[in-house]
Amino acid sequence: MAGLDQKSPNVLLQSLCCRIMGKSEVDVAHQFQYAVRVVGSNYAPTIERDEFLVAEKIKKELVKQRREADAALLSELHRKLQSQGVLKNRWSILYLLLSLCEDPRKPPVRVANYAALFAQALPRDAQSTPQYYCARPQSLPLSYPDRTQSAQSSGSMGSSGVSSLSIYATNGPTPTPQSLLPGQTQGMGDSLRQQLSSRLAWNLSAAAPSVPTSTSRGLANSVPRSVPRSRREGDTGSGSVEISESALVRDILYVFQGIDGKCIKMCSSESCYKIDGKIAISKSLRDITSRLAELGWLHNKVRKYTDQRSLDRAFGLVGQSFCAALHQELKEYYRLLSVLHSQLQVEDDQGVNLGVENSLTLRRLLVWTYDPKIRLKTLAALVDHCQGRKGGELSSAVHAYGKTGDPYMRALVQHILSLVSHPILNFLYRWIYDGELEDTYHEFFVASDPTVKTDRLWHDKYTLRKSMIPSFIAMDQARKVLLIGKSINFLHQVCHDRTPPGKIIAASKSVDSPKDAAELFTDLEGAFQSNIDAAYFETSKYLLDVLNKNYHLLEHMQAMRRYLLLGQGDFIRHLMDLLKPELVRPATTLYQHNLTGILETAVRATNAQFDSPEILKRLDVRLLEVSPGDTGWDVFSMDYHVDGPIATVFTRECMSHYLRVFNFLWRAKRMEYILTDIWKGQMCNAKLLKSMPELSGVLHQCHILASEMVHFIHQMQYYITFEVLECSWDELWNKVQQAQDLDHIIAAHEVFLDTIISRCLLDTNSRALLNQLRAIFDQIIEFQNAQDTLYRAALEELQLRLQFEDRKKRLQSEGEWGVTAADEQVENKRVQEFCETIPKMRSQLRILTHFYQGIVQQFLVLLMTSTDESLQFLSFRLDFNEHYKAREPRLRMSMGTTRGRRSSYM
Amino acid sequence: ISTSLNPLLFISVLLEISRLLNTGLDMESLSICVRLCEQGINPEALSSVIKELRKASEGLKVRINKYCLF
């Protein structure tokens, strides 16, 4: 082949002609001339000398023909070729091959016309150059009325060829409107210009659209952007660069993505897209461009948000799903843009031969981007609204936007909402069904405090993070949710109950996909609510069952009542009996173990022994702090140990309340006890002391005072036992039986204790009352002491007198003087002394009585003015016969005034 | 397998490509084309020439065929 290399192009051409025509050299003279002419005139290639581009085009062509495997093969071959490095102009030969490429699927070309064409088209005279060979874009007249006419008027070009030009495969996007737009004629002028200069490649091959692409693309590329292709009415004046609409279209397509175009740039001061002022453009175009540029602005806004947020590490799952949703929407938008781009590309490929009716204009863009614009507007508004929010707040913000009447916008927002709340629902379901909380970014509305230990788990560990509650979850639903998870955790950690939650809740659903979430939101009232309710009901019931069966919560509550609140009467009485001699001693001499032993004795001797050992082992004696001068009575207290889950209900505070109440009740009981003793003493000694008539006055006083005191204490006890303890206990018990969850029980219990404390005058408001009561109790003790001394003295005196009488009798019986004068004198003296002490006693008692009554009256006054109704009723009972009222003018007045006052606010 | 030693092998690659693309060029024509291109001929023009020639030959064949019918 070395010979061939040195041959001149002409020679080669000739041999090529021979080859193709299949004839000898002589016969191909015409063709040879023609070939030489063509080659000579079109010397400079108009396409890019880019091998890569050409190779890509070849591949595209193959793909278009659906021969992907061949495309791969081609890449392989091309690589091989490149590696060989022999050829200098690889692009050239590749281009040639491409242009000669024929799609095997295409129908065979029509042959009939070619002869006629050929006969016409090739002049014999080798010198004459037909018009078209020298055609340059600018030199041709512009206006042609329509295509077919222009075809004919170009005379020697051949009619059929041009008409075949009308067959263009427009592979533009499907929404291409077919209407003819104004300015078509100018566009046609363009198309003709194009076709004239590339006619050779075009004609006769209507079935090979791939061919025109090569040459026309080259031509299209050669046309610089700023060359005016069409002129619209009302064009601008001279002196400024003119922009064609297609250039604007190109720019706009860039602006749609947020990239500055050649003419339309982002003006950051006004934060909008503006057309360069230097460019002359008609007002209507400017307007349309501005309207279209808004889309780019909206896109930028959304894009900026998603880009910023993707960098934010602490944005959390909800925020990320929001960004993902926005991304999806943007992808759709980009898809539209790529469709538009490809439309533009097709136009370029085939020249503007498509005619304006199929080309991309600003107006067309306006129509096509109308829907996306609405969408982007909604997204941008959402982005604005959701700035700076995350977690549940974010989903609330999105939800708020869903409350619109526009169904299109509502559907969009609903879709985004379902994506955004998917993580929240995941959190929710995990929390409800497993009690697990994995919330690194603090997005969920249940917050867990890791510093809290197990004993305070129920009360302190889990709280509601109110800001993160989404607006589609009501407050009480949120509380229920908190409770459910809390219960599960409580069961696991405090009750050590490892039952898998699957057993607790029979039918549990988990949100597997955003679709479920979307379903939930369309049916917020139904499934979602019922899920939560069912979970709540089951979990709480289970928890209460565990507490009652395994930990005997209710039994302990009853035990508290019996022991700490002195419910078990016989036991308390016996205990007091046993403890009495111990407790009168000074407090410092008491030992706990002694007292515990006594406690156990009491337990064994009474009905308390039939209680379960679980309860009995928790009973204990506790000695309070000793202040100087205290007797045992002041420091004695009982205790009930609680631990584990029970301690959640009976917290330390509750226990301290219980102890205070116990103290109070114990004291009151002691008073009762004392008075019983007094009464006993009185009954016993009355008979005995009948023989001492001088004492009768004193004794009478004693009796009266004692009765008053008894009445008082009696009423107090009644009040405490029935109005305070029994009623509250009844309420508590009812509530506890009906309780649906542990919170109810805890709340009811706290209410119970609060009521008791306030009614037993132990709260801070009733301090005055309590002091009065204490004073009364002290008086009673005083009285007891006084009475004791009185009786002791009286009985001693009686004893002595009896002795005297006895001695008298004895002596008489022995025959002596019963009573000597000296004896009698001594006796009389003694009796005299005794009788003298009586007034002292009497006055003492009188003072005591007076004092006592004063205190009681003050007490009554305080009771009257208290706000608690039951205390007011107590005052009535205490003074049922208005005994005190008669003596105390203050009482009279205060009763009247307070009565009036009371009735005003009753 | 490196084929850089054999200068003729590139032609077979090109033949393969042309076969893939269904250009209808045989070996000799292809080699002529390669020479022409290497010498700097505009491939656009060349391809248009080839196409014209082909169509001409087709037309002639038809004519001949037509005439042969009679």
- The chain A residue lying nearest B58, using CA atoms, is A111
Contact pairs from chain A to chain B, CB under 8 Å: 179
The contacts found for A869-878 with CB under 8 angstroms, 24 or more apart, are: A870/A719, A870/A723, A870/A724, A870/A759, A871/A759, A871/A769, A872/A902, A873/A723, A874/A715, A874/A716, A874/A719, A874/A723, A877/A715, A877/A718, A877/A719, A878/A711, A878/A712, A878/A715
Question: In the 8-state DSSP scheme, what is residue A609?
Answer: G
Band of pLDDT at residue A749, cut at 50, 70 and 90: very high
* DSSP states along A90-106: HHHHHHHHHHT---TTS
Bigger pLDDT: A1 vs A248: A248
Instruction: State the sign of the Cα–Cα–Cα–Cα dihedral A519, A525, A529, A533.
Output: negative
Burial of A530 (0-12, 13-18, 19+ CB in 10 A): exposed
Evaluate the CA torsion angle A83, A88, A89, A93 in order and state its sign: negative
Q: Which residues of B, range 5-64, sit inside 8 Å of A by Cβ?
A: 7-10, 13-14, 16-18, 20-26, 28-29, 31-60, 62-63
User: In angstroms, rounded to a whole number, what is the distance separating the alpha carbons of residues A701 and B18?
Assistant: 140
> To the nearest whole angstrom, how far is the Cα of B67 from the nearest Cα of chain A?
14
Q: Which residues, in sequence order, are bridge partners of residue A637?
A: A622
pLDDT digits (tens, 9 = 90+) for A115-142: 433 444 344 444 444 443 333 333 333 3
Contact, A165 vs A193, CB < 8 A?
A: no
| Per-residue pLDDT at A118 | 40
> What pLDDT is attached to residue A875?
82
SS (H, E, C) A269-336: CCCEEEECCCEECCHHHHHHHHHHHHHHHHHHHHHHHHHHHHHCCCCHHHHHHHHHHHHHHHHHHHHH
List pLDDT tens digits, range A526-579: 567 778 888 888 888 888 888 888 888 888 888 888 888 888 888 888 988 888
What does each C-alpha distance from A384 to A301, A324, A394, A397, A631 come to in angstroms?
Answer: 9, 16, 11, 10, 75
Q: Is the ipTM of this complex over 0.90?
A: no
Q: Is the pLDDT of residue A158 over 50?
A: no
More confident of the two residues A799 and A888: A799
Query: Model confidence at B42, in pLDDT bands (50, 70, 90)?
Result: confident
Quick check: A100 and B47 CB within 8 A?
A: yes
- Give the chain B residue whose CA is nearest to the CA of A72: B20
Of residues A89 and A662, which shows the higher confidence score? A662
Residue A144 has pLDDT above 50, yes or no: no
Chain B nearest C-alpha distance from A131 (Å): 16
Residue A353 sits at the vertex; the CA angle it makes with A351 and A356, to the nearest 5 degrees, is 110
- Nearest to residue A315, comparing CAs of A327, A323, A326, A304? A323
Q: For position A151, what pLDDT does the model report? A: 37
Q: What is the pTM of this model?
A: 0.60
Residue B25: name the closest of A511, B33, A825, A726 by CA: B33
A44 versus A515: which is more confidently predicted? A44
Tell me what pLDDT residue A5 has: 53
Q: Is residue A152's pLDDT more than 70?
A: no
Inter-axis angle of helices A569-583 and A652-688, to 10 degrees? 80
- Phi and psi torsions of B29, nearest 5°: -60, -40
Contact A857, A887 (CB under 8 A): yes
Give A261-310 pLDDT, tens digit per residue.
777 777 777 677 777 767 677 888 888 888 888 888 888 888 888 888 88
- Mean pLDDT along residues A363-367: 84
Which of A4, A6, A16, A76 best tests the B interface by mutation, with the highest count of B CBs <10 A?
A16
Mean predicted lDDT score pLDDT of chain A: 74
Q: What is the mean pLDDT of residues A84-101?
A: 80
Stated length of chain A? 906
Q: What is the pLDDT of residue A519?
A: 57
Contact A393, A468 (CB under 8 A): yes
Burial letters for A737-757: b for 16+ Cβ neighbours within 10 Å, e otherwise? eebebbbbbbebbbebbebbb
Higher-confidence residue of A565 and A45: namely A565
Number of other residues whose CB lies within 10 A of the CB of residue A803? 11
List all residues 6 or more positions away from A687 whose beta carbon is below 8 Å from its beta carbon: none
Q: Is the pLDDT of residue B3 over 50?
A: no
CB-based burial, A87-97: b 16+ in 10 Å, e otherwise: bebbbbbbbbb
Predicted confidence (pLDDT) per residue in A671-712, tens digit: 888 898 888 888 888 888 787 787 788 888 888 888 888 888
What CA–CA distance (Å, rounded) separates B25 from A105? 18
Task: Render pLDDT for A447-467 as a digit per residue (tens, 0 to 9).
Answer: 888 888 877 888 888 888 888
Tell me the one-letter amino acid at A109: V
**Test mutation, B3, B27, B31, B46, chain A, max A CBs within 10 A:** B46
Paired with A1 in beta bridges are none
Residues of B in contact with A47 (CB under 8 A): 44
Range from A108-117, A452-461, A470-479, A613-622 carrying the lowest mean pLDDT: A108-117
What confidence category does residue A748 fall into, taking pLDDT thresholds of 50, 70 and 90? Answer: very high
Measured at the alpha carbon of residue A438, what is the angle toward residues A435 and A441, in degrees to the nearest 5?
140
Q: How far apart are CA A114 and CA A477, in angstroms?
A: 84
Of all residues in chain A, the one with the smallest CA distance to B64 is A115
Smallest Cα distance from A115 to chain B, Å? 5
β-pair partners for A778: none
CA dihedral A436, A441, A443, A446 (to 10 degrees): 40
The highest-confidence range among A47-61, A143-157, B53-67, by mean pLDDT, is A47-61
- Between A787 and A188, name the one with better pLDDT: A787
Which of B8, B22, B49 is opposite residue A102, by nearest beta carbon? B22
Cβ within 8 Å, pair A95-B54: no
CA-nearest of A350, A362, A205 to A292 is A362
pLDDT value of residue A685: 84
Does residue A242 carry a pLDDT above 70?
A: no
pLDDT at residue number A518: 54
Tens of pLDDT, residues B45-69: 888 888 888 888 777 766 666 665 5
3-state helix, strand, coil in chain B (%, to 5): 75, 0, 25
Q: Pull the structure tokens for residue A774.
A: 């204490």
How close A196 comes to chain B (CA, Å)?
14
What was the pLDDT predicted at A107? 52
Q: What is the DSSP letter of A134?
A: G
